[in-house]
Amino acid sequence: MTEAILFMLGIGGVCGILLSFASKIFYVYEDPRVSLVESNMAGANCGGCGYAGCSAAAQAVVKGEALPSVCIVSGAEGAAKVAAVMGMDPGTAESRQAYSMCDGGVRAANKYHYLGVTSCGAMALVFGGQRDCHVGCLGLGDCVKACNFGALTMGKEGFPVVDENKCVGCGACNKACPKDIIEVKSMSDKLLKFNQINDPLAPCSQTCPAEIDIPQYISHIKNGDYLAAVQTIRMRNPLLLSCGRVCPHPCENDCRRGIADEPVSINQLKRFAADYEMNSGSRVPIKCAPDTGKKVAIIGGGPAGLSCAYFLRRVGHQVTIFESMPELGGMLRYGIPEYRLPKKVLEWEIEGITKLGIETHTNVRFGTDFGLGSLVAAGYDAVFIGIGAWKDHALGIPGDDLKGCFNGIKFLSTVSALVSSGISKGDTSIREKMKLGKRAAVIGGGNTAVDCARTMLRLGLEKVYMVYRRTRKEMPANEVEIVASEHEGIEFVFLAAPSRVVGNENGEVTHLEYLRMELGEPDASGRRRPVPVKGSETLLAVDTIVTAIGQAPDASFKEETSRRISELTLTRWSTIDNNPATLQSSIPYIFTAGDAATGPALVVDAIGGGRRAARSIDLFLKGKKVEPVKDSLQKKRIPESVFKTISGVQPIKRAVMPELPVNRRLDSFVEVDLVLPEDEALKEADRCLKCCRICYNPDKKSA
Amino acid sequence: MGDYIVLAISCILINNILLAQFLGNCPFLGTSKKMETATGMAMAVVFVIVLAGIITWVTELYLLKPLDIEFLRTLSFILIVASLVQFVEMFLKKSIPALYTGLGIFLPLITTNCAVLGVCLINIKEEYSFLEMLVSSFSYSVGYGLALVLFAGIRERIILARVPKPLQDTSIGLVTAGMIAICFFAFKGMV
Ligand SMILES: Cc1cc2nc3c(=O)[nH]c(=O)nc-3n(C[C@H](O)[C@H](O)[C@H](O)COP(=O)(O)OP(=O)(O)OC[C@H]3O[C@@H](n4cnc5c(N)ncnc54)[C@H](O)[C@@H]3O)c2cc1C
Ligand code: SF4
Ligand code: SF4
């Protein structure tokens, strides 16, 4: 008997001692707040919150994924205690919310007919469900049944509707859905979400470089909720006033309505919503996630820098912009002229972004006034470079340094600076200040060239030629710009290659000599290559010549003394080399996007790039691996959503953009393109088919 | 060698710990709703049963038998299994975090799994040698895993059937389990 008692005592003792030693040896650090938080929960392990027991819920709270009020048993009192442990108000952690990605529902076509199936899960087991669209909502409401909080209902249109006040973000619905239609995400996750190949996306949203949810904002406009439209756009693009004016809207090329009718005027509608907010006199408040305590330096305050700063700020990081010019905006301010994007509008837009708590330093140049070393020393955890492409390509023909020759970007930025400083009317004074003549030739066919030409007309020059190597069809400038410059009386000299600048004895330009060209074989880019015609030298009498034949980034900052910066590799076009999917450069904490990385492109490309870089920087700051988005779409089209023909569309004319009459344009820098009136905008919004991958709302048959 | 194979087959199929001996039913019903959970649980069970088998076998041979206190077997085994699971959990958390997150919540669940104790007691009752004990522990646990995974596969598909309301969920689960058990009965003729 004693043996038995001793044995049991012994074995108990051994187990106890072993375990207590083990708990010392195998101790793993855990945030002490987890157990504190857990002790303030009900301890029922009921799983009602959607997490696997109280300790999982406590971990989620500490990670900032769940609100202090997750526990449904301990109520408001418990929530207050948990919040006290975490040192925050109950409710300030970034809460997650469910939202439905698919709004096809009953309008979506079916391929099978199932009998007696009562749940989405069951349906998904047999051929993946009845819908034609393989990602679409199955409509039987497994998510609705999974929700413990009654936050979901199956809407009339056959897809789940979330009641945001009831949703606690537990994620039960997402787990129940066999199709990943219901997603549960925080605002930060949504801001940094990128289009993926299996997402339910409209053709236009697939093509938009900023990946704006276009059908969603158009549908808000249609419902008269213009400010909601503004908020939808701001989830992806903080520069909506600017883009609404200058974007060449690649999205409209892929608009599904355009197959049978004219495309929806997507960008006009963006401008309408953006102008509505500005003219309403107040700003829609923009929410930012709680501070993370990480600091990022943004070099260059152009669209790429502003966009990156905006998204990083909204997900809770501290951002500082360093800009070499006196004011922010990049090419939006110093390239694109006043008559296309008024400085007042740009100012209002940029103010809205910096007001989120972004520090800005202007008149400081990277490489000259500060370097990489000083940023690292000042405690910045990551750096974004968005310095654009500001170095004009030189013409490289005899005489291109005579008096009267200018370079495109230099010319435009000088005019812009003069216009901002108040001399907006009296064109002659700017003309005299810059020593411009009376007859000018602009060389080039891109946006910069057209802007130079139209600007010169407004400065009072009598005759402006545009000299371009190829034909009108090949001009890379925005179509609307070309049309406008034709209306304004600019004369085009196509198929002409400048060969010499002729000057007089004072070194002033008198003529431009060019060779006529013929179109030959198509080159690598598919455009037919122009070849010069022998002996076709022609003289054009001009006294001012502006060269706008392309730009490259100014990489002179590389001469900075810090050894580290020399490790930053450039491409042979002197753009900054980066991983195209993550935008990380050859130095891990430096990221880059916009013209500096891609060479001259579009404002929206820079905005999309800024956001993509923000996602990578966010991963980097959180110590996670900087990985590309899985199955990222990156402007590619989803094959099943490309249609050849569509049915159910009745031709309705597209809204026409109101413009200032030509005779009132040329004596000032007043904005030329005007905003759609409200009734026109509503009519235009009504034309949108609210497309998704494959289904859409056809026009209602007029009885 | 042949003996070991026969032993393995009989432990996995014929005397399946779940379907023939009805041990470990609560986690069987609890973790068999989804294939993912079922495979996680199956792996954790194999891991723990083999370890517990070894330790209890040693305890029996060198402590209980010499001291002539075999009547304490059940009591001491329970204590040992429970501490072992705790220990393994701590060890994995520190040393092999990947495996820990994989087996995750299933480890503590096993503490209350009577199949573990059952296998340990069978090993003693049948007076297995060390090697036989290893084979039987491993095979019993694999049999457990097999039954669990099979059952989870069936349960995932049951949602396709129109089950009468009163029979839904666990009830139909028990009926199904019974039917699988009858199927396993057929293996009786094998050896
Ligand atoms: C004349 C013109 C017309 C255009 N028209 C259109 C149009 O209609 N539609 C359209 O979509 N796109 C248009 N574009 C293209 C568009 O403007 C650019 O693609 C876009 O602005 C690129 O943004 P970014 O931020 O990369 O660079 P940028 O806008 O060039 O900004 C770079 C910023 O970095 C600053 N910077 C440079 N070097 C340093 C340094 N060393 N240290 C600190 N700061 C520095 C610059 O001052 C500038 O503010 C046009 C471009 C030009 C030149
Ligand atoms: S909607 Fe989804 S995330 Fe929200 S409470 Fe319901 S189940 Fe949880
Ligand atoms: S109709 Fe509307 S949703 Fe469809 S592609 Fe055009 S703008 Fe986008």
Q: Mutual orientation of helices A343-354 and A303-314 as an angle, nearest 10°?
A: 30
Residue of A21, A26, A118, A175 best to disrupt the B interface, most CBs of B under 10 A: A26
Chain region(s) in chain A for CATH 3.30.70.20: 96-191
Q: Which of A214-218, A236-240, A349-353, A541-545 is predicted with the least confidence, judged by mean pLDDT?
A: A541-545
Kindly identify the ligand whose nearest atom is closest to the C-alpha of A361: 1
Kindly identify the ligand whose nearest atom is closest to the C-alpha of A168: 2
C-alpha separations of A493 from A365, A442, A538, A563 in Å: 39, 10, 11, 49
The string of pLDDT tens digits covering residues B120-150 is 999 999 889 999 999 999 999 999 999 999 9
Residue A88's pLDDT band, with cuts at 50, 70 and 90, is low
Residue A546 token pair: 């502006």
Is the C-beta atom of A184 inside 6 A of ligand 2?
Answer: yes
Ligand 1: residue whose CA is nearest its atom 27? A388
ipTM: 0.76
CB contact under 8 A, B79 and A117: no
Q: What is the DSSP letter of A136?
A: S
Residue A505: is its pLDDT beyond 90? no
Indicate the average pLDDT of chain A. Answer: 87
Q: What is the DSSP letter of B4?
A: H
Give the residue-averaged pLDDT of A496-522: 87
Q: Which of A67-81, A217-231, B64-78, B162-176 is predicted with the least confidence, judged by mean pLDDT?
A: A67-81
Contact status, residue B152 vs residue B173, Cβ threshold 8 Å: no
Rounded Cα gap, residues B178 and B184, in angstroms = 10
Contact status, residue A181 vs residue A137, Cβ threshold 8 Å: yes
Contact status, residue B7 vs residue B136, Cβ threshold 8 Å: yes
Residue A63: is its pLDDT beyond 90? no
Of A12, A19, A126, the CB nearest to B160: A126
Distance from Cα A218 to the centre of ligand 3, integer Å: 9
Q: Select the more confidently predicted residue: A667 or A368.
A: A368
Task: Tell me the shortest Cα–Cα distance from B43 to chain A, in angstroms.
Answer: 20
Architecture in CATH for domain A203-284+636-702 = Orthogonal Bundle (1.10)
Contacts of A116 in chain B (CB under 8 A): 162
Residue of B59, B63, B73, B83 best to disrupt the A interface, most CBs of A under 10 A: B83
Q: Is B159 on the interface with A (CB under 8 A)?
A: yes
Cα angle at A160 between A154 and A166, to 5 degrees? 95
Residue A604 token pair: 């929206």
Residue A623's pLDDT band, with cuts at 50, 70 and 90, is confident
Residue A69: is its pLDDT beyond 90? no
The string of pLDDT tens digits covering residues B23-59 is 888 778 877 877 877 887 888 888 889 999 999 999 9
Residue type, position A627, single letter: E
What DSSP assignment string belongs to A44-109?
Answer: ----TTSSSSHHHHHHHHHHTSS-TT--TTTHHHHHHHHHHHHTS-TT-S--EEEEES---GGGS-
Residue A95 token pair: 């809460």
CB contact under 8 A, A23 and B94: no
Distance from Cα A48 to the centre of ligand 2, integer Å: 11
Ligand 3: residue whose CA is nearest its atom 2? A688
Cα angle at A523 between A517 and A527, to 5 degrees? 70
C-alpha separations of A374 from A379, A388, B111 in Å: 9, 22, 58
Q: Which of A40-44, A458-462, A574-578, A633-637 is predicted with the least confidence, judged by mean pLDDT?
A: A40-44
Q: Residue A460's closest CA among A478, A434, A483?
A: A434
Backbone angles phi, psi at A689, to 5 degrees: -90, 0
Give the residue-averaged pLDDT of A71-81: 76
**Overall fold of domain A96-191:** Alpha-Beta Plaits (3.30.70)
The string of pLDDT tens digits covering residues A653-686 is 888 888 888 877 877 788 888 888 999 999 999 9
Terminus-to-terminus CA distance in chain B, angstroms? 16
Chain region(s) in chain A for CATH 1.10.1060: 203-284+636-702
- pLDDT of A703 reads 38
Is the C-beta atom of A168 inside 6 A of ligand 2?
Answer: yes
Strand segments, DSSP code E, in chain B are: none
CB contact under 8 A, B79 and A15: yes
Q: To the nearest 10°, report the CA torsion of B107, B111, B117, B118.
A: -70
Q: Select the more confidently predicted residue: B5 or B156.
A: B5
- pLDDT of B86 reads 84
Residue A237 token pair: 């693009």
Residue A92: is its pLDDT beyond 70? no
Of B67, B93, B159, the CB nearest to A7: B67
Residue A423: is its pLDDT beyond 60? no
Which residues 6+ apart lie within 8 Å of A213 measured at CB? Answer: A205, A232, A235, A236
Give the residue-averaged pLDDT of A684-695: 91
> How many interchain CB pairs under 8 A, A with B?
58
Q: What percent of chain A has pLDDT over 70?
A: 96
Half-sphere exposure of A105 (CA within 13 A, CB side): 15
Of B80, B94, B157, the CB nearest to A125: B157
The class (CATH top level) of A392-552 is: alpha beta
CB contact under 8 A, B159 and A19: no
Instruction: Spell out a b/e string for A149-179, using b for 16 or more CB atoms within 10 Å of the CB, else e.
Output: bebbebeeebbbebeeeebbbbbbbbebbbb
CB contact under 8 A, A26 and B93: yes
Architecture in CATH for domain A295-391+569-621 = 3-Layer(bba) Sandwich (3.50)
| Atom of ligand 3 lying closest to residue A696 CA | 4
Q: Which residue of A has its CA nearest to B89?
A: A26
Rounded Cα gap, residues B48 and A12, in angstroms = 20
Residue A606's pLDDT band, with cuts at 50, 70 and 90, is very high
Distance from Cα A689 to the centre of ligand 3, integer Å: 6
- pLDDT of A602 reads 92
- pLDDT of B169 reads 78
Backbone angles phi, psi at A695, to 5 degrees: -100, 165
The string of pLDDT tens digits covering residues A256-277 is 999 988 999 999 999 999 999 9
- pLDDT of A427 reads 53
Residue of B65, B68, B73, B90 best to disrupt the A interface, most CBs of A under 10 A: B90
Q: Select the more confidently predicted residue: A54 or B171.
A: B171
Is the C-beta atom of A203 inside 6 A of ligand 3?
Answer: yes
Contact status, residue A161 vs residue A90, Cβ threshold 8 Å: no
| Atom of ligand 1 lying closest to residue A305 CA | 25
Distance from Cα A270 to the centre of ligand 3, integer Å: 13
Chain region(s) in chain A for CATH 3.50.50.60: 295-391+569-621, 392-552
What DSSP assignment string belongs to A469-506?
Answer: SS-GGG--S-HHHHHHHHHTTPEEE-SEEEEEEEE-TT
Rounded Cα gap, residues A689 and A685, in angstroms = 9
Is the C-beta atom of A144 inside 6 A of ligand 2?
Answer: no
Q: How many residues does chain A have?
A: 703
Terminus-to-terminus CA distance in chain A, angstroms? 98
Question: If you search the block for the tokens 């975090």, which residue do you land on?
Answer: B97
Residue A50's pLDDT band, with cuts at 50, 70 and 90, is low
Rounded Cα gap, residues B176 and A81, in angstroms = 47
pTM of the model: 0.80
The string of pLDDT tens digits covering residues A318-327 is 999 999 999 9
Q: Which residue of A has its CA nearest to B74?
A: A8
Residue A283 token pair: 């700003």
CB contact under 8 A, B159 and A116: no
Q: Is B66 on the interface with A (CB under 8 A)?
A: no
Contacts of A22 in chain B (CB under 8 A): 86-87, 90-91
- pLDDT of B103 reads 63
Contact status, residue A428 vs residue A462, Cβ threshold 8 Å: no
Residue A365: enclosing H or E segment and its boundaries?
Answer: none
Q: Which residue of B has its CA nearest to A52?
A: B105
Residue B105's pLDDT band, with cuts at 50, 70 and 90, is low
Give the residue-averaged pLDDT of A203-212: 94
Contact status, residue A515 vs residue A397, Cβ threshold 8 Å: no
- pLDDT of A90 reads 55
Name A183's bridge partners.
A99
Is the C-beta atom of A149 inside 6 A of ligand 2?
Answer: yes
Question: If you search the block for the tokens 């779409």, which residue do you land on?
Answer: A633
Residue A628: enclosing H or E segment and its boundaries?
Answer: none
Rounded Cα gap, residues A354 and A154, in angstroms = 41
